[in-house]
Amino acid sequence: MQEKLVELKEAALASLSDVKDLAELNDLRVKYLGKRGALTEIMKGMGKLSPEERPVMGQQANEVRAVIESLLKEKTEAFEQAILQEKLESQRIDVTLPGRVVARGAKHPLTLIVEQIEDLFIGLGFEIAEGPEVETDYYNFEALNLPKDHPARDMQDSFYITEDILMRTHTSPNQARVMEAKQGEAPVKILCPGRVYRRDDDDATHSHVFTQIEGLVIDENIRMSDLKGILLFFAQEMFGSDVEIRLRPSFFPFTEPSAEVDVTCAVCHGTGCRVCKDTGWLEILGSGMVHPKVLEMSGYDSEKYTGFAFGMGVERIAMLKYGIEDIRHFYNNDLRFLKQFNRR
């Protein structure tokens, strides 16, 4: 038995010395030390030994097992180390490499202008009131003193969805919506930015979708001079403290009197140039005193309250402010254009 043990030990050590990988190691472990392995096989002979021999053989068998086990362990660790080393080599991280730059989006120039105008008017105590782009004929026209078949509806060629529903042609329906919701209560001081839709052929100065900002103030003793004062403040904040404004008589069914508002030409400062067609003035918005009929229709006592309203095209304001020659730049998503506005 002793011989067998020595043989086994020699054989095991010999085959372990040129083992090639973890799988082979495992096979050898099973072969020599496994439940049906060579060592177990030898140990089966223990029963035939004398009581004196038994402990001696047992001890020797344990020693053989211990020697093989420690060699197995050593080899296993060596292989695992080699595998780890190889991984570290192949997956090495170069911490000196520059990081990948995350491309950051930026606000669209129209958003920037809308926010700038909102800030101005919030500073004057206005609240922002938005409304739906899909609007009823009632709010878009009728509540603004534009009954069906009124010729002034032609001023705003519309996209109708049904006979009574259309894409709003201006932000003025918000006036009627807010007044109605306030149930005759004053003051009203709102600013309504939003997208509007008109059946226009797109060209350098027209777009069938564009952006408007509407303003409405209603209270006791609101006069046209209040409108003029606020618009002068707005124009000077937007275009520079040296600009003047000029009000020209105009017509809107929902305001009476109505005025078109011009500012001093930002390009030539009033001396006359190609942009202002030699007039020295640029038209920037429509405005007027809220028509008594409009007040009454939305539940306001027109004997007690008066108000003014104005509406401006945001693209036009941005084009004048930054010298942009084509409105389509705003919608083409050309990064060369958009990136110029990342910083305010």
CB closer to ligand PHE, 61 vs 137: 137
What tokens appear for 195 in the block? Answer: 């997208």
Of 162, 145, 156, 160, nearest in space to 258 by CA:
145
Q: State in angstroms the smallest separation of the CB of 249 from ligand PHE.
A: 13
Question: What is the DSSP code (8-state) at residue 274?
Answer: T
CB closer to ligand PHE, 155 vs 273: 155
DSSP string, 9-57: HHHHHHHHHT--SHHHHHHHHHHHHSTTSHHHHHHGGGGGS-TTHHHHH
CB closer to ligand PHE, 197 vs 310: 310
Q: State in angstroms the smallest separation of the CB of 128 from ligand PHE.
A: 16
Q: State in angstroms the smallest separation of the CB of 286 from ligand PHE.
A: 3
Sheet containing 281-290: order of strands? 127-128, 188-197, 209-219, 306-313, 281-290, 255-264, 245-252
Question: What is the DSSP code (8-state) at residue 322?
Answer: H
CB closer to ligand PHE, 138 vs 337: 138
Q: State in angstroms the smallest separation of the CB of 338 from ligand PHE.
A: 26
How far lies 87's CA from each of 40, 78, 82, in Å? 38, 14, 9
- Please give the residue ranges that form the binding site for ligand PHE (CB under 6 A): 170, 172, 214, 252, 255, 286-288, 309-311
Strand partners, 196: 210
CB closer to ligand PHE, 37 vs 288: 288
Beta strands in the chain (DSSP E): 127-128, 134-136, 165-167, 188-197, 209-219, 245-252, 255-264, 281-290, 306-313
User: Does residue 257 have a cis peptide bond before it, meaning omega lies within 30 degrees of 0?
Assistant: yes
How far from the centroid of its chain's Cα atoms is residue 142's Cα? 36
Q: State in angstroms the smallest separation of the CB of 288 from ligand PHE.
A: 5
Q: State in angstroms the smallest separation of the CB of 215 from ligand PHE.
A: 8
Q: State in angstroms the smallest separation of the CB of 273 from ligand PHE.
A: 26
- Parallel, antiparallel, or unpaired: how do β-strands 127-128 and 188-197 relate? parallel
Burial grade of 336 (CB within 10 A; 0-12, 13-18, 19 or more): exposed
Q: State the residue for tokens 């038994």.
A: 54
Nearest residue relative to ligand PHE (C-beta): 311
CB closer to ligand PHE, 8 vs 309: 309
Provide the b/e sequence for 303-313 (b: ≥16 CB within 10 Å).
Answer: eebbbbbbbbb
CB closer to ligand PHE, 37 vs 313: 313
Q: Annotated binding residue at 296?
A: no
H-helix or E-strand spanning residue 74: helix 53-90
Question: Annotated binding site for Mg(2+): which residue ranges?
Answer: 256
Residues in binding site: 256
